[in-house]
Structure 1
Amino acid sequence: MEEIEVIVAHSARTTLRVGDVFLKIDADQARARVEVEAMAIAPIPTARVLWHQPPVLALAVLPGTALGVLGEPSTASPAAWAAAGAAVRGLHDAPLPPWPGRSLDEIASELDRECEWLIANGVLPAGLVRRNREVAEAALRPWRPVFTHGDLQITHVFADGDEITGVLDWSEASRGDAMFDLAILTLGHEERLGDLLAGYGEDVDLDAIRGWWSLRSLQASRWLIEHGFDPSSPGCEFDVLKSRM
């Protein structure tokens, strides 16, 4: 008898693995629809949709393994990282999805709210928060919208040897900043940025990528804490913020 493996579970979403099938249970049906639509139009490998009966989405398991996990060194080869960069470039060069992304004003307002919460609740030293808020400013500039994955964590990109076999979790896909995807994929793995860009190519704003590292870590910390994750674990969000000092 096959066992049920809990991949992730919190109040917003639960993902289970049963044999060769992932079952995603999402409380937000609009988000689930975006995921299905994004995978249908993305020009790069994604997991195969087996069926979708809200609130459950069934996906075929991707071959290979993730490029790595946050907080641990990636064992993937430089060639695999370069292949990931080439795949991301293919996504960014594709036609825009028909739905919009968040505006610059929305992102900046949310960032300021999260910074205030971190300081008011004594989660992080005020000086650390303020320094990273300054670094994040480099990301808060006008950009040319591209087709972005929107949550391109290292655990969402799968490789078999030096080849990318697929990308998971498209529920945040939208029109957005290309540098955001590059930053999220290398969050906590800054030493792999060069390998990634070897496949991605030119037209890269390194200051914006650094800004998104800080911005993402500041923005995500409260959500992580409230949903049972620990951003203070070695190599995770708090260490990313401390590295900017």
Structure 2
Amino acid sequence: MDEVEVVVAHSERATLRVGEVFLKVDADQARIDVEVEAMALVPVPTPRVLWRKPPVLAIAEVPGTALGRLGEPSPASPAAWAAAGAAVRKLHDAPLPPWPGRGREPAQLATDLDVECEWLVTNGVLPADLVRRNRQVAEAALRPWTPVFAHGDLQLTHVFVDGEVVTGIIDWSEAGPGDALFDLAILTLGHEERLGDVVAGYGGDVDRDVIRAWWSLRSLLVIRWLTEHGFDPFAPGCEVDVLRSRM
């Protein structure tokens, strides 16, 4: 009998693996609804839905290997990263989905950013000068954008490749209308050296300063959540190191 592997687990959701099947358990059925519908609409490879019985969604394993992991060197080639960029472009060029975006608008992001920056400094989590510098960098991301069909959580562990071919993109629960550069930023977070490859595959005029701003903005916003849910943003190459690289 296959063993049960806990892929990720926290108070909001958990993902288990049994052989070639992944079981996603989510307290918020709206997220599962979005995930299933998004995978049916997007023009890129996604996992096959095996069955669904709330609160559980069962999906098949996708072939290939992930682009890498945050905090570790990526084993994928430059061509594989470029292929990921091309797949993201294909997604962003697709018609917008019929549901509203789950992301926050610039004004709300600015408010949330102020709250998190104050918390980081007041509680001695990060030095004030580090927070201040990254708060300044993050400003460039707080601008209007034209919505695209965005993945919403495009971590490099969510993109699978086989050689130079993208074989699957997983975890679509945050999909919806969103900022194209946010997707590109999350994909390259902690792997700045791969940004050129991704942009080459993505094509077009990409504002890299905004992507760098999203690296700072995203990292500042999630440190409290990560620490409260059992993750370590201070691990080498992770969110705190991303912030330090802006100094």
- TM-score tier by shorter-chain length is over 0.9
Task: Kindly indicate whether residue 10 of structure 2 is the aligned counterpart of residue 6 of structure 1.
Answer: no
SS at match of 1:175: strand
Task: Using structure 1 for the length normalisation, give the TM-score.
Answer: 0.98
Match of 2:205 among 203, 226, 242: 203
Cα deviation code 1:80-139 (max 9, x no counterpart):
111100000000001011122232222222222111111111110111111101000011
Whether 1:230 and 2:232 are equivalent positions in the alignment is: yes
- For residue 106 of structure 2, what is the aligned residue in structure 1? 104
Q: How does 1:53-72 map to 2 (within 5 A)?
A: 53-72=53-72
List gaps (5 residues or longer) in structure 1. Answer: none
The Cα of 1:202 is off from its aligned counterpart by 1.4
Q: How many residues align?
A: 245
Matched, 1:52 2:56: no
Task: State the SS of the aligned residue for 1:181.
Answer: helix
Query: Secondary structure of the equivalent of 1:74?
Result: coil
Over the residues paired in the alignment, what is the CA RMSD in angstroms?
0.8
Gaps of 5+ in 2: none
Q: Which residue of 2 aligns with 1:194?
A: 196
Q: CA offsets per residue over residues 133-192 of structure 1, 9 Å max, x none?
A: 100001111111101100000100000111000101111111111000000000000000
Q: Aligned partners of 2:29 and 2:116: how far apart in 1?
A: 26
Please name the residue that 1:173 is paired with. Answer: 175
For 1:74-89, what aligned pairs fall within 5 Å after superposition? 74-89=74-89
In the alignment, which of 136, 139, 152 is matched to residue 134 of structure 1?
136
Q: Which residue matches 1:144?
A: 146
Q: Distance in 1 between matches of 2:175 and 2:229?
A: 22
Shift of 1:203: 2.0
User: Paired residue for 1:241?
Assistant: 243
Q: Secondary structure at the match of 2:168?
A: strand
Aligned residue in 2 for 1:93: 93
> In structure 2, how many angstroms separate the alpha carbons of the residues matched to 1:214 and 1:82?
23
Separation of aligned partners in 1, 2:112 and 2:171: 22
Quote the Cα distance in structure 1 between the aligned partners of 2:65 and 2:186. Answer: 18
The residue number in structure 2 matching 1:212 is 214
Structure 1 residue runs of 4 or more that deviate by more than 6 Å after TM superposition: none
**Which string of whole-angstrom CA distances, capped at 9 and with x for unpartnered residues, describes residues 187-233 of structure 1?**
00000011111110012111100000000100111110000000000
- The amino acid across from 2:162 in the alignment is D
* SS of equivalent to 1:144: coil
Match of 1:124 in 2: 126
Partner letter of residue 67 of structure 2?
A: L
**Separation in 1, partners of 2:75, 2:241:** 20
Counterpart for residue 184 of structure 1: 186
2:37 is matched with 37
Partner residue in 2 for 1:115: 117
Q: Matches of 2:203 and 2:184 in 1, distance apart?
A: 12
